[in-house]
Amino acid sequence: QSALTQPASVSGSLGQSITISCTGTSSDIGGFNSVSWFQQHPGKVPKLIIYDVTKRPSGVSNRFSGSKSGNTASLTISGLQAEDEADYYCNSYRVTITPNYVFGTGTKVTVL
Amino acid sequence: EVQLVQSGAVVKKPGESLKVSCRVSGNGLSTYWIGWVRQMPGKGLEWIGIMYLGGSDTRYSPSFEGQVTISADKSIGTAYLQWASLKASDTAMYYCASAVDGTYVFDPWGQGTLVTVSS
C-alpha cells in the first residue's frame, strides 16, 4: 500500500516557523481524525509529538502544532530550535479491505 | 500506562528462522493493540501489522502479508514477530508499539530490535 506523501526535506533558521505537509486520501487522512506525528532523532526510538490531528502528549513543547484540511495534514514547528533537527513522520488510520495504519514517507528537518 | 521491552539484537543467516518478542507490562493488557514497525537502514517507518491482545484480530499490511507472522502469548503478555525463512532484505530495526483499543494513538514504543541477516 502506498505511503502518505511528505516532502523529503524542510529547512529553517533558528527561531523561524516551518510546516510539514502530509497528503493522503479520503480513505485515511480525510476520513478520520486519526493523524499522529512522530519525531525521530538518529539512532533513537520514534517519539509521539501530536495525536488525533491536533493534540499534544504531556511534556511535548507547545511549539509543535498539528492541523488538517481535507486529505492533507500539517505539522508546524514554531520558534525552531537546534534540537528540532530530526526526521518527522505522519501516521494515519486507513480503511481498505483490511483496516490498518500507514506512515508518511518522512521529512528531514534541518535547522540552519 | 504500559511498558514495552523487546528482545535483543540478533544476527542470522539467510534461510534461518527467527522470532523476536515484545513483552508488554501494565494493567488492562486485553484492551491494547500491539503494532510492529520496520525501519530498514537509512529508510522510513513502515507498518508490518497490528494485533489485538483482547481477541484474535490480526491485520497485516499488504507488503508483509505472507512474509511474517504476528502472534502473542497473552498469558505472559508477550507479542511476537516471526519469520520462517529470513532474507538479507529483512535486515532492519523492528519496533513494537501499543495503542489502547478505540484510540488511534500508538504510544509507547519498545526500544527496538536490530535484526541483521548476513551470510
Residue-wise pLDDT for B56-114, tens only, equals: 899 999 999 999 999 999 889 999 999 999 999 999 999 999 999 989 999 999 999 99
Cβ-based neighbours of A19, under 8 Å, separated by 6 or more:
A10, A74, A75, A76, A77
pLDDT, residue B1, reads 83
Say whether pLDDT at A99 is over 90: no
B35, B107, B112: residue with CB nearest A57: B107
Q: What is the mean predicted confidence (pLDDT) over A27-34?
A: 96
Amino acid at the residue B100: V
pLDDT, residue B102, reads 87
A106 contact residues in B (CB cutoff 8 A)? 44-45
Residue-wise pLDDT for A40-84, tens only, equals: 999 999 999 999 999 999 999 999 999 999 999 999 999 999 999
* CA-based nearest residue to A45, from B22, B13, B19, B33: B22
CB-defined contacts A:B, below 8 A: 62
B106 contact residues in A (CB cutoff 8 A)? 36, 48, 91, 101
Residue-wise pLDDT for B6-56, tens only, equals: 999 999 999 999 999 999 999 888 899 999 999 999 999 999 999 999 988
A101–B35 CB contact, under 8 Å: yes
What is the C-alpha to C-alpha distance for residues A9 and A43, in angstroms, rounded to an integer? 19
d(CA B60, nearest CA chain A) in Å: 8
d(CA A97, nearest CA chain B) in Å: 10
Say whether pLDDT at A1 is over 80: no
